[in-house]
Structure 1
Amino acid sequence: MPHLDFTQPPFDVLNAAERQSIKKNTQVRYLAKDEMLPADDLQYFYVVLKGHVEQLLDGDFVASYLGNNHTAHLNSNDWFDSRRSPESLIEDGLQEDKNIDSQPAAYQFRAVEDTLLLQVNGVIIDKIGAQNHFVRQLLSENLPERLKALQLRHGGKKLDATSYDDPQEVQQIMLQPVIDITLLPVHIVDADDSLYQAARTMTEAGLKHVLIRPPGHLQDKNSSDRTLGILSDNDICRAVSDQQNTVTTPCQNYASFNLRTINADNEIGDALLTMTRYRIHRLPVIDTNGKVIGVLAQGDMLAHIGHHSQLISIQINQATDLPSLATAVELIGRYIRAQHQNGIKMGNVSRMVQTLNAQVFTKLWQLIVPDEVMENTCVIVMGSEGRGEQIMRTDQDNALIMRDGYDHPKLAQFADTFNQHLAELGYPLCDGNIMMNNPMWRQPLKAFKAQISLWFKNTDPMHSIYLSAIFDGEYVCGDETLLTQVREHLKTAHRQSDLMFVRQFARAALQFGDVNQWWQKLVPLLGGKPSAYTIDLKKAGIFPLVHGIRTLALENDLFTDASSKGRLKALVQARALTQERADTLLEALEFFMAQRLSVALLTDNKHAKEVDPTTLSALERDLLKECLAVVKSFKDQLSRHYQLEFG
C-alpha cells in the first residue's frame, strides 16, 4: 500500500515512532469522478495520490488539490485537512462589520476525475501535534501560526530537529524584550553638578557615562525619566580640550538631552533598529512608570545577538566616495540573502534594510551637498521604501522638501546627481518620475502643502497615486520637522476634503481581478508555458493589502507611522480592526513579500513580481491559497465598508 512521502513538509518533521503511527492509521480511499466526500468522512487528513479534488463552500469553488499524475511541474502531492473550518480562510476584520456574515457552512470536497487519496485518521494527527509542536504549527487552523512556522524553516530546507532550532533561536532572540540583556546600572547626577563630580561618579561606577537630571526634574511630580540627559567620557574630554574648569563647569553645558529611549518590553530587534538608524551607542530603558531601570549598551546588545548589520552601518558611515559606498550597498544584498536563508522573519529583515538604505541615502546626500543644504532641506523616501517593506532594490521613490524662503542655485543639479548616483548604486530610476529631480517632488514646504490640497480634490487619476506616495513618506535626513509639517497638513487637507474622497481612494485596492482561483485553471495549463499560470504577487497580494490598510489609516487620521505594520497597530488601537484580523493581514503581507524575495534570489530578477505556483511545495501552495483568500476577504470587507458594490 502506498504511504506518505515523509520527505515533504509537513511530514518531514516526524520522528520514526510518529511515522509508524501515521502508517498504521492510514488507508487508501477511492473517489469516482463527481463523487463527493460524505459528511461523515470530514474528519480525516487527506493526501491526493492521483487525480484531482475540488474544495467547495456552499457550492462555490474554493480550491483544487492535485495528485502526482498532474505534477509534472509540482514538487509534491497536494494535501488537505477536511476538518479545517471556513473561518480559517474567511474572517471578519473591520470592527463595525464583525457581525455581518452569518456562520458559513462546512466545506465540501468533490472528485473532478477518478481519484486516489491517502486517508489519515485526524485523531492521530491531533495526538502527534500535541507532542510535536512542529506538526502543530504547520497544520494549525490559525493562518499566522502556520506562516510563522513556514518562515522558521531553515532557508526552505527540510525541517528536522537540528535545522529548525538554529533559525528559531535567532528569531526568538530578536523578539526577546530588551530587559533580557544585562543592562548597565543607573547613575544620575544633577544638571548643575560639576563635570568633576560626574567624572568621579563614572570612575567609581566603572562606567563611561552618567545620566543627567535636568533642572526642575525632581519638583515636577509628573516628570518622566525620558527627559534625562546623558554625559559621556568623550564629553568631558571635549570640555578639557575647550580648556574648561571641570570643577566649576556644570554638566548641562556638555550633556546631551532629548535622548532616544526604549521601553522595557520592546523587542531587541527594535533596539537594534533604533541604534542603527540614529547612530547611538546607549539607550536608557524605561519601565511602565516612566522610570529608567538601566541603560542598554550597544556592545552588550551586539554580544547578545551576534548580529552583523552594525558592520554594514560602519562601512556606510566610513564611505568617502561612490565606490566605497557601493561596497556597503553590496553588503546589504549579502545581508538580505543570509537573513532569508536563516529563516529570519521578513518584517524584521525589511525594516533593517530600510534603516541601512536610509543610511546609504544620507551618506550619499552628505557627499553631494554642502551643510547649509542639509540643514534647510528634508530628504524623504516613499512607496515600499518609505513603508519599510522594500527588500529588493526596486524603483526609487524620493522627494526633497525645502524650508520656505530657502534656495540654492545648484539644488536641481544636486537632486539630479543624487538620483543618478542612486541608480549607479543599483536603485533603479522611477518610471513614474516620482523622484527629487522632478520639480514636483522638489518644492518648498508651502508649495508642497498647496500641491497636497490640490491632490485631495482628486481631479486627475494620478492624484491618488501621488497621495499614496506622500502618505508613505519616511524621513531620511535633513530637517525632520519639514516632514512632520507635511504630515500635519495631510491630516488637515483630508479633513477639508470631500466626504466621498476616501471611498474613491479605496477603489484602487479592488482594481485588480480576483486571482485566488488560479488552481482551478491549473490542470489544463500543465502542458503550456510556465508563464501561463504565474501569479503577480504585487497585484494579487501586496498592493490590495497595502492600499487597503493605507486607506483605513487615512480614514482614521493615522499619519504618524508609514509602515503597514505600524498602521495596523494604530488601527487596532483606534478599534478600527480586530487584533486577530490585523495579525492575519500582516502575516499574509509578509508571506507575499517573502515569496517575492525568494523569486528574486533564485532568478536574480530584481523586479520579481510573479511566482509560478507549480514550483512551490504543497505546504507553500496551501499557504498561498489561504493568503490569497485573506486578500479576497479583505477586499470584500473594504467593498462593504465603503459601499463600493453600489458604485
Structure 2
Amino acid sequence: MPHLDFSQPPFDVLSLAERQSIRKNTQIRYLAKNESLPAEELQCLYVVIKGQIEQSLDGEFVASYVGSNHADGLNNNDWFDSRRLPESLTKDNQLEHESTPIQPYQFRANEETLLLQVSGTAIDKISAQNHLVRQILSDKLPERLKALRQRRHNRTLEPASYTNQQEVQQIMLQPVIDIHLLPVHIVDANDSLYEAARIMTKAGLKHVLVRPLHSLYDLNDLDGSQIAQLETRLLLGILTDTDICRAVSDRQNPATTPCQRYANFNLRTIKASDEIGDALLTMTRYRIHRLPVVDQSGDVVGVLGQSDMLAHIGHHSQLISIQIEQAQDLSSLDTAVELIGRYIRSQHHNGVKIGNISRMVQTLNAQVFTKLWQLIVPDEVMANTCLIVMGSEGRGEQIMRTDQDNALIIRDGYTHLDLAQFADTFNSHLATLGYPLCDGNIMMTNPMWRQPLKQFTAQIGLWFRNSDPMHGIYLSAILDAEYVCGDESLLTQVRQHLKLAHQKADPMFVRQFARAALQFGDVNQWWQKFVPLLGGKSASSDIDLKKAGIFPLVHGIRTLALENNVLDVPSTKARLKALVQVDAMTQERADTLLEALEFFMAQRLSVALSTDDKHARQVDPTTLTALERDLLKECLAVVKSFKNQLRQHYQLEIA
C-alpha cells in the first residue's frame, strides 16, 4: 500500500503519534475513468497517488488534482479536502447580503485514479490539538494563507530561527500598549524652561509634554473641523532637551522663558490599541522619535520612544529613512533606494505579511520622492505645488520599483518658468534610480498631469462626462492619488471636487466604470491552464497574476468605493474598511478579498525576487507546491465570485 508523504503539507507538521493515528485511518480508494466520489464519501481528505481528479461545482470546472507521475510535470501529489464547502463562491458573496444555498463540490476521475482516503474524523481529532493542521485545512482563506506564509518562510530557516521570525511577525501585530512606555509628565505652557528641565532630570527623561494655553489659538478664526483637529492632534505639545539647548543657544533665560515658546504643539499621537507596525509607520513617515499613546477616552497613558520600539522589534526601516533624509545628491539617494530593495527581500524572507511590507515601502518611497523633489526645486515651488503619486504606489500596494505614476497640482495663479524642466528632471532622475517611466505617460512631464488646480478639476469633470475608455483610466489614477510633498491642501481640494463631479455625473457612470473589472477572461480559463490539453498542443501554463487576480479586485473595490462616495482614501485596504462601515460589504467578505489580493501580491514578489522579470506578472503553476496551487485556485475562485457580484450588482451582461 502506498504511504502518505509526511514531508508534504498538511502532514509535515504532525507529531509521531499523530502520524501513527493517520496511518491507521488511511485506505486506498480506486476510481475508474469518469467515476465520481459519492456523497457519502465527501467526508474525507484525499491524496492523489496516480491519475487525475477534476473538481467542479454545479457542472462547472473549478480545479484539477493530479498524482506525481502525471504527464503535466507536477512534482508532488496533490491533495484535497472533500469536506470543504465552496464558501468563497457562494457564502456572503452578494453585496446586498442575499442568502444562497451552499452546494458541495463534485469530484470526478478524468482517468483511472488511485487515491489515499484519510478519515475526516481522524483529521478533526488531530486538528483540534494541532493548530498548524487546523490552519491548512481551515474553511477560512485567511487562515490557509497564513499557513502558506509560515511554510514559505520555514523552507529557508532552521526550526529555532523560524520560531524567532514568527515571533517578529507577531510582535508587529501586537498593540502599542504591549511596549514599555515612558511615563507621562506634563507642564503648563507658561511654566519656565527651568521647571521643565528640572522635571526631566528628576524623571530621567529627555522630554515633557506641554499643556497649551487657550491663547495659543484664536478659535474665532477656525471652523468646526479645524477645532476638532485641534482637540485631537494639538491637545498637548512636547518639549525636548534639544529644544532647551536651542533656547540656551538663543541666549534665553531658562528661568523666565515659558515652555510654549520652544515647545512643538503639532503633536502626532497613536492609540493604545493600534498595532506596533502602525507606530513604526507613523514615526518613519513623519520623522519623529516620540509618540504619545492615548486610550479610548483620549487620555495620554504613556509615551512611546523610538529607541524602545526599535529595541522591541529589531526593525531597520528607520535606518533607511535616516539615509534618505541625509542624502545630498542623486548618488547618495541611489544608495538609500538600494537599501529599500534589500529591506523588501529580507522582510519577505522573514515571513512578514505582504501588506505590512508594501505599506512601509510606500512610506520609504514617498521619502525618496520628497527628497529628490527638494534637491531639484526651490522652496517657493515646494510651497505652491503638490506632488502626488497614483496607481499601486498611491494605493500602497507596490512591491518592487513600479512604473512611475505621478502628477503635480499647481496653486492657481502661481507660475514658474522652469516647472516643465523641473518635472523632466524629476522623472528622468527617478528612472535613473530604477523607477521605470510610465508607458501610459501618466507622469508630471505630461502637461495633462501638471496643471493649476482649477484646470485639474475641470479636467476631472470632463472624465466623468465622457465615455472615452482612456478617461476611465485617468479617473482610476486620480482616485488612487496619494500625497507626497508640498501643499497637501491642493490634493484635498481635488478630492472634494471628485465628490462633486461624481454627484453631478450620470447615474449610469459607475455601471460603465465597473466594466473594466470584467474585461479579462473568466477565471476558470486561467485555472484550466493547469490541465494539459489532450490530443493537441498545450497552451502556456503561465497565469497573469495582474489580469487574473489583482486588477479585477482592485478596480472592483475602487468602483464600489466610488459608488459609496469613499473618495478620501486611496488604498484597497482602507476602501474595504470604509465599505464595511457603510454596510456595503460584510467584514468577513472584506477580509477574504484583502487576503486574496495580498496572496497575488506575494506571488508577484516571489517571482520578482527569483527571476529577472521586472514586471513579475506571470507565474507558472507547475513550479508551485500543492499547498500554493490549492491557495491559488481558491484565490482565483474568490476573484470569480467577486466578478459575479459586480455583474449582478451593476446588472452587467455575463461576458
**TM-score by structure 2 length?**
0.95
Change (3 A) 1:204 1:162: closer
Shift of 1:153: 2.5
- The answer (yes or no) to whether the contact 2:529–2:540 under 8 Å persists in 1 is no
What are the residue-to-residue correspondences of 1:351-370 with 2, within 5 Å? 351-370=359-378
The separation in 1 between residues aligned to 2:385 and 2:503, in whole angstroms, is: 27
The separation in 1 between residues aligned to 2:594 and 2:170, in whole angstroms, is: 19
- Residue in 2 aligned with 1:338? 346
The separation in 1 between residues aligned to 2:625 and 2:639, in whole angstroms, is: 21
2:203 aligned to which of 193, 202, 205: 205
- The answer (yes or no) to whether the contact 1:7–1:158 under 8 Å persists in 2 is no
Gaps of 5+ in 1: none
Change (3 A) 1:160 1:525: farther
The separation in 2 between residues aligned to 1:614 and 1:229, in whole angstroms, is: 58
1:641 aligns with 2:639: no
Would you say how many aligned residue pairs link Structure 1 and Structure 2?
A: 645
1:421 aligns with 2:429: yes
The separation in 2 between residues aligned to 1:71 and 1:407, in whole angstroms, is: 66
- Residue in 1 aligned with 2:603? 595
Shift of 1:430: 0.2
Worse-superposed segment, 262-271 or 216-225: 216-225
- The answer (yes or no) to whether the contact 1:226–1:261 under 8 Å persists in 2 is no
Q: Report the 3-state secondary structure (helix = DSSP H, G, I; strand = E; otherwise coil) of the residue aligned with 1:508.
A: helix
Change (3 A) 1:158 1:409: closer
The separation in 2 between residues aligned to 1:206 and 1:497, in whole angstroms, is: 60
Deviations 1:347-368 (A, max 9, x none): 0000011111111111111111
1:138 aligns with 2:160: no
Deviations 1:529-586 (A, max 9, x none): 9971111000000000000111111111112221111111111111111000000000
Change (3 A) 1:425 1:160: closer
1:66 aligns with 2:74: no
Q: Report the 3-state secondary structure (helix = DSSP H, G, I; strand = E; otherwise coil) of the residue aligned with 1:456.
A: helix
Deviations 1:348-394 (A, max 9, x none): 00001111111111111111111111111111110000000000112
- Residue in 2 aligned with 1:78? 78
1:325 aligns with 2:336: no
Shift of 1:520: 3.4
- The answer (yes or no) to whether the contact 1:403–1:444 under 8 Å persists in 2 is yes
Shift of 1:156: 6.0
The separation in 2 between residues aligned to 1:384 and 1:513, in whole angstroms, is: 22
- Residue in 2 aligned with 1:545? 553
1:524 aligned to which of 526, 529, 532: 532
Change (3 A) 1:458 1:646: farther
Deviations 1:154-201 (A, max 9, x none): 536189954642332111000000010111111111112222222222
- The answer (yes or no) to whether the contact 1:381–1:476 under 8 Å persists in 2 is yes
- Residue in 2 aligned with 1:31? 31
- Residue in 1 aligned with 2:224? none
- Residue in 1 aligned with 2:51? 51
Change (3 A) 1:333 1:525: farther
The separation in 2 between residues aligned to 1:159 and 1:256, in whole angstroms, is: 46
What are the residue-to-residue correspondences of 1:199-238 with 2, within 5 Å? 199-216=197-214, 227-238=235-246
- Residue in 1 aligned with 2:492? 484
What are the residue-to-residue correspondences of 1:532-611 with 2, within 5 Å? 532-611=540-619
What are the residue-to-residue correspondences of 1:279-290 with 2, within 5 Å? 279-290=287-298
Letter in 1 for 2:120: G
Shift of 1:218: 14
Change (3 A) 1:528 1:412: farther
1:41 aligns with 2:49: no
- Residue in 2 aligned with 1:313? 321
Shift of 1:516: 3.0
1:451 aligns with 2:459: yes
Change (3 A) 1:290 1:262: same
The separation in 1 between residues aligned to 2:530 and 2:88, in whole angstroms, is: 24
Letter in 1 for 2:378: P
Deviations 1:311-342 (A, max 9, x none): 11111111111111111111111111111111
Shift of 1:113: 0.7
- The answer (yes or no) to whether the contact 2:90–2:102 under 8 Å persists in 1 is no
- Residue in 1 aligned with 2:22? 22
Q: Report the 3-state secondary structure (helix = DSSP H, G, I; strand = E; otherwise coil) of the residue aligned with 1:13.
A: coil
The separation in 2 between residues aligned to 1:255 and 1:531, in whole angstroms, is: 67
The separation in 2 between residues aligned to 1:48 and 1:333, in whole angstroms, is: 40
1:248 aligned to which of 256, 264, 267: 256
Letter in 2 for 1:207: L
1:125 aligned to which of 123, 134, 142: 123
Letter in 1 for 2:32: A
Deviations 1:456-490 (A, max 9, x none): 11332111100100111111111111111111111
- The answer (yes or no) to whether the contact 2:195–2:255 under 8 Å persists in 1 is yes
- The answer (yes or no) to whether the contact 2:72–2:531 under 8 Å persists in 1 is no
Worse-superposed segment, 243-252 or 586-595: 243-252
1:616 aligns with 2:624: yes
2:470 aligned to which of 458, 462, 466: 462
- Residue in 1 aligned with 2:5? 5
Letter in 1 for 2:124: D
- The answer (yes or no) to whether the contact 2:395–2:482 under 8 Å persists in 1 is yes
Letter in 1 for 2:127: G
- The answer (yes or no) to whether the contact 1:195–1:248 under 8 Å persists in 2 is yes
2:407 aligned to which of 399, 403, 413: 399
